Amino acid sequence: MSLQINNLGKSYNNPVFKDFSITFPEDAITCVLGPSGCGKTTLLNIIGGIIPPDEGSLTGFENKTFSYVFQEPRLLPWKTVTENIEFVLSRDLHAGERKKQAEKLIRQVKLEGYAGYYPAQLSGGMRQRVSIARAFAIPSDIILMDEPLKGLDVALKQNLIKWFLHIWKGDRRTVIFVTHDVDEALLLGDRIVVLSQAPAKIITQVEPEGPAGNRDSDSDLFKATKEKLIKALDK
């Protein structure tokens, strides 16, 4: 099964998308890789129903629910880590079950000792871990991720990818992850789609060898795929 966007058109002062089509396999991680300003965030906002397309159709997205992970964590500052996660859990759950599920997600992102902390008491990386846990707490079909690792150091990025994949492998959902960072895409994506500058078109698509989370960034294959993606971005 796949989700499809066909003949998408979207303009502001200038066209961002013109006769653009793309598919997203369900229950997989698709990384959309492209330069700043190419329309990656616009694409997410159209998929999520935040803004309408000018032209084109979306197929398979009907009745889907979404959760977001943004560049900024966007946590509720007056709520603790546990409360931020409990807040988005289904109200059909008993309070005790909501707390149990929140605690499980907190363990999965290795924040057990910080459950009672408020966002202002956490580092940027910790806040983003809470955002990832919250995205999985929402009973959504699709997770939209808008450059959530931007500005973080390499070691922290790798850890966040590890924690994200740890949860995702036990709760597979369709993930659309946009980034301008080739390494992020290679470490995370089941499929990588490279976009040109606006009006965006697909330059190339790559399915990296091996499962996400188990790719050796020092291997010749990883380096060759990285070089291919960098060259595509330079076109």
- Of all residues in the chain, what percent are helix, strand and coil, respectively (each to 5)? 35, 25, 40
* pLDDT over threshold 80, residue 181: yes
pLDDT band at residue 105 using 50, 70 and 90 as cut-offs: very high
pTM of the model: 0.93
pLDDT band at residue 76 under the 50/70/90 scheme: very high
Position 90 pLDDT exceeds 80: no
How many domains does one find in the chain? 2
Output phi, psi for 215, to 5 deg.
Answer: -95, 135
- Domain-embedded: residue 43: no
What pLDDT sits at residue 1?
Answer: 66
Residues 147, 201: one domain? yes
pLDDT at 215: 84
Residues 135 and 171 grouped into a single domain: no
Whether 55 and 152 map to the same domain: the answer is: yes
Residue 20 lies in a domain: yes
State the CATH number of the domain containing residue 11. 3.40.50.300
- How confident is the model over 24-71, as pLDDT tens digits? 999 999 999 999 889 999 999 999 999 999 999 999 998 899 999 988
Question: Which burial class, exposed, middle or buried, applies to 8 when counting CB atoms under 10 A from its CB (0-12, 13-18, 19+)?
Answer: buried
Give the distance from CA 163 to its chain's centroid: 13
Q: Do 117 and 6 reside in the same domain of the chain?
A: no
Residue 44 within a domain: no
The mean predicted confidence, pLDDT, of the chain is 92
Residue 167 C-beta-side C-alpha neighbours within 13 Å: 26
Residue 129 lies in a domain: yes
Q: Can you give the pLDDT at residue 217?
A: 85
Q: Identify whether 39 is part of a domain.
A: no
Cα–Cα distance, 135 to 143 (Å, whole number) = 7
Assess if residue 38 is contained within a domain: no
Q: What domain range includes position 199?
A: 1-33+49-64+141-156+165-176+184-216+223-234
